[in-house]
Structure 1
Amino acid sequence: MDKKSNFSVLMGAAFLMATSAIGPGFLTQTTVFTQSLAASFGFVILISIVIDIGAQMNIWRIIAVSEKRAQDIANEVLPGLGYFLAFLIVLGGLAFNIGNIGGAGLGINVLFGWSPETGALLSGIIAVGIFVVKEAGKAMDRFAQIMGFVMIALTLYVMFSAQPPYAEAAVRTFAPEKVNLLAIVTLVGGTVGGYITFAGGHRLLDAGIRGKQALPQVTRGAVSAIGIASIMRIFLFLAALGVVAQGMAIDPANPPASVFKLAAGNFGYKIFGIVMWAAAVTSVVGAAYTSVSFIVTFKPLIKKYEKWITVIFIVISTLVFVLIGRPVKILVLVGSLNGLILPIALGVMLIAAYRKKIVGDYKHPVWMTLFGVIIVLTMAYMGGYTLINDIPQLLK
């Protein structure tokens, strides 16, 4: 693979992971937390970026050196664990894809006034089209890159329109007035939780970037992925901060749409429609690709029909939203399970990093292991806390 192709694949993987992370939930979380924490939310973003990079670098590197997908690594660490991990990923990916399809429908509704259901159907057809074309991998990479640039550019415009207090945001990023641990965990879960953690790592494997010799590129790809998602997060935070600092009231029914409209009028509201659609439909593509990548190694027949299984995954998500709506209880329960996927997955990867039959003579950096262990313990505690508190509510 020449350098140009290599760079293109790396950027494709980075944008696939980043745009998978930037979904409807990402837009809403960022706005809501900015409203409650104001400039101090900058500190939450900073800490979550550090944790995200630690998680991604560990996972992407171990996938690359083992030259295996996460589910196969997990099965080698403990027989059956890979199937359990795949079950969690697919269940979470399907449930959140229903929400992503709904977000895409909302974006179309804002832009053209069509019903969210019509917008969801159209978006589902576009997502399916990406996987039906001859070179689906390249089409997916290119789509993720274009949509990523569109989202960042439009949000940057809204940020400047909102005129946020840049100096205060910079100061509070390093000296916050208040810290919200739950906000940090929510951001980490939203950026590297569930299927998102593996989107880029599995894409690099599919594109042939693997082995110890590829580690410098893999590390660059992991950091770039978090960097892209974080740039979008920072621009959105500053846009919301500008609105909050001016004392404008953000509509709780749709916080991100409210920010775009208050900052840049009706034109800003239309920009929100584009950003919401781009964020949602790229998350649909990323969730479908990554979820299916978790089951293709189990049976040769699944691998043979991978493209069509991915298409069916998107079709089911679309039809559930159009016919039933968003099953809130399922989304909440799977959200709780999703909080546990990162510590399980990262924990498995850290164990695998010290198994010679998996990684050969590769030596995983000690600092990276320690960093990973801290992330596993923190996220396991918070994920468990959420799970224990959500299930009783759902059973009422």
Structure 2
Amino acid sequence: MFKKIGPGVLIAAAFIGPGTITACSIAGVGFGYALLWAMFLSILATMALQEMAARLGVVSQKGLALVIREQLKSKWIRIAVLMIIIGAILIGNTAYEAGNIGGATLGMTALFGNKYSVYYPFIVGFLAFALLWMGSYKVLEKVFVGLIFLMSLSFIVTAIITQPDVSLILKGLFLPTFPEEGLLTIIALVGTTVVPYNLFLHASLVNEKWKSKDDLRSVRWDTIVSIATGGFISMTIIIAAAAIPSKEIVGALDLAKGLEPLFGNAARYFMGVGLFAAGITSAITAPLAAAYVANNCFGWNADLKDWKFRLVWILILGVGVLSLSLKIRPIEIIQFAQIANGALLPVIAILLVWIVNKNEVMGKYRNSFIHNIIGFTIIVLSIFLGAKSIFKVFDLF
């Protein structure tokens, strides 16, 4: 079973970052178990899109951005789409990298205190740099399996400590409700799970492990098990947060602080380990995804150890470390990233469904009728989410 586990682990670890922990914490504190259904549907949507991206990667043996580039015959449409992709992924991931590294440093703060906190961003940055510099997919896979295990153990134990009501959990999971003022939280849960850059990352990473179409069954197994594990971890965070009486949750570390008075130091340490693992995985996958996108969009045909490939992720990682250590928050860049990602998700969802239906690209492995029904449903949802995220930046409603 474990030999069949592959890139899906990196994808699951990528979407469980500090942003997901914060969104899940706010959902649990504000609405208890009532929004578990939203996370459940987000996971199903993520599974469907990631399976399409992974299937495309194995069948074509190319990255998603490269296939998009080849299939868009109109020069101006191709340039426009590639500009959106480059803007959203390269600039967006650079803007968010400080938050990823910040999540890992918050985990270290929960574990080791504030005394040496000034050095934490550099420690996290060095760990991410060392793993990426090795340029070995197999090493990354093993490290991420370990980090996913740490996250699972940490957040599951934290949830168990709170002694949740199982009947209320099942109700929240299978009986959808729309609490007053809960729409933005629902959007945040979906937005932190269905992540555009993971589609590019997955399509490229499957080529590192699998070279044959005969491996598609293993690819699906890997995707379903890994994404389901990631979704389960996200749900345990919501369940743990539901036990906190305070409503003042604005960040991931607040969950650890909120649990400590109720359940002692154990909760803080378990949360600290989980937060560190979540932060370090996102701090690695965001630069890695950006490097793959640049590689495909510019047609470099570079491998993990190529200097151009390395230059992209070094730049993103370096900016993240410096921004966090110097306490710089370039709000305009972050707002641009939110707008670009809001526009990117529906565009990529449409292009992905279009491409995996093309006979010349996919042959007999193209989408089935059921795949397309699910795909079109996700496209409608992604257009709504994209519009809401853009309007939110401009405070239109």
Do the two structures share a fold, i.e. TM-score over 0.5? yes
Helix, strand or coil at the partner of 1:218: helix
Alignment match, 1:249: 246
Does residue 89 of structure 1 match 2:86? Answer: no
Q: Which runs of 5+ in 1 are unaligned?
A: none
> Does 2:172 align with 1:175?
no
Contact 1:161 1:263 in 2 (8 A): no
Alignment of 1:156-175 (within 5 A): 156-175=156-175
Aligned to 1:344: 347
CA contact (8 A) 2:89 2:290 kept: yes
Aligned to 2:141: 141
Deviates more, 1:28-37 or 1:256-265: 256-265
Alignment partner of 1:369 is 2:372: yes
Determine the structure 1 residue equivalent to 2:226. Answer: 225
1:52 maps to 2:49: no
Q: Residue 124 of structure 2 corresponds to which residue in structure 1? A: 123
One-letter amino acid matched to 2:269 = K
Matched AA of 2:371 = M
Shift of 1:68: 1.4
Contact between 1:19 and 1:144, CA under 8 Å: does it hold in 2? yes
- SS of residue matched to 2:366: coil
2:75 is aligned to none
Inter-CA distance 196–361: structure 2 relative to 1 (3 Å threshold): closer
1:151 Cα offset (Å): 1.2
Aligned residue number for residue 238 of structure 1 = 239
User: Does residue 379 of structure 1 match 2:382?
Assistant: yes
Paired position in structure 2 for 1:288: 287
Deviations 1:217-238 (A, max 9, x none): 2222221221121110122122
What's the CA shift for 1:387? 0.7
1:321 partner letter:
L
**Contact 1:64–1:205 (8 Å) recurs in 2:** yes
Q: Answer yes or no: is the 8 Å Cα contact 2:349–2:379 preserved in 1.
A: yes
* Structure 1 vs Structure 2 CA RMSD: 2.3
Question: Given the superposition, is the C-alpha separation of residues 116 and 330 from structure 1 closer, same or farther in structure 2, using an over 3 Å criterion?
Answer: farther
State the shift of 1:263 in Å: 4.7
Q: Is the 8 A contact 1:56 1:192 kept in 2?
A: no
Aligned residue runs from structure 1 range 254-333, under 5 A: 254=251, 255-297=254-296, 298-300=298-300, 303=303, 304-305=306-307, 306-333=309-336
Partner AA of 1:40 in structure 2: A
Whether 2:250 is the aligned partner of 1:216: answer no
- Inter-partner Cα distance in structure 2 for 1:249 and 1:218: 42
Letter in 1 for 2:295: V
1:295 aligns to what SS in structure 2? helix
TM-score by length of 2: 0.88
Distance of 1:70 and 1:380 partners within structure 2: 20
Question: How many positions carry a matched residue from both structures?
Answer: 381
User: Could you tell which deviates more after superposition, 341-350 or 26-35?
Assistant: 341-350
Structure 2: gaps spanning 5 or more residues: 73-77
- Out of 276-285 and 216-225, give the one that drifted further: 216-225
Q: Does the 8 Å contact 2:128/2:280 carry over to 1?
A: yes
Q: What amino acid is the match of 1:252?
A: I
The answer to whether the 8 Å contact 1:292/1:309 transfers is yes
- How far, CA to CA, are the matches of 1:210 and 1:144 in structure 2? 21
The alpha-carbon deviation at position 316 of structure 1 amounts to 2.2
Counterpart Cα distance in 1 of 2:263 and 2:202: 34
Aligned CA distance change for structure 1 residues 359 and 204 (closer, same or farther; 3 Å): same
Q: Percent of counterpart pairs with the same letter?
A: 21
Q: CA deviation at 1:262?
A: 4.1
| Code of the aligned partner of 1:307 | R
Give a deviation string over 1:342-375, Cα, whole Å, max 9, x none. 2211211111123333224533211111211111
Q: CA deviation at 1:210?
A: 4.2
